[in-house]
Amino acid sequence: MPFPLLHRKKLHGILLDTPQDGTERCRECGGVCCSSFAAVEISWEEYELLRSLGASRLQLSLYGPHRLEIDYGCEFLVQGRCSIYEQRPAICRRFTCRD
Rg of the chain taking only CA atoms, in angstroms: 14
Residue 40 is inside which H or E element, if any?
Answer: strand 39-42
CA gap 96, 14 in Å, rounded: 6
In angstroms, what is the minimal distance from the CB of 20 to ligand SF4?
Answer: 12
76 binds ligand SF4 (CB under 6 A): yes
Q: How many chain residues bind ligand SF4 (CB under 6 A)? A: 12
Looking at residue 83, the DSSP 8-state letter turns out to be T
- 82 in contact with ligand SF4 (CB under 6 A): yes
Contact between residue 29 and residue 36 where contact means Cβ atoms under 8 Å apart: no
Asked if 42 touches ligand SF4 (CB under 6 A), the answer is: no
From the CB of 52, what's the least distance to ligand SF4, in Å?
Answer: 14
Residue 4 beta carbon to ligand SF4: minimum distance, rounded to whole angstroms: 24
Q: Does 55 bind ligand SF4 (CB under 6 A)?
A: no
Which runs of E-coded beta strand occur in the chain? 13-15, 39-42, 58-59, 66-69, 77-78, 81-82, 95-97
Binding region for ligand SF4 (CB under 6 A): 31, 34, 40, 70, 74, 76-77, 82, 84, 88-89, 92
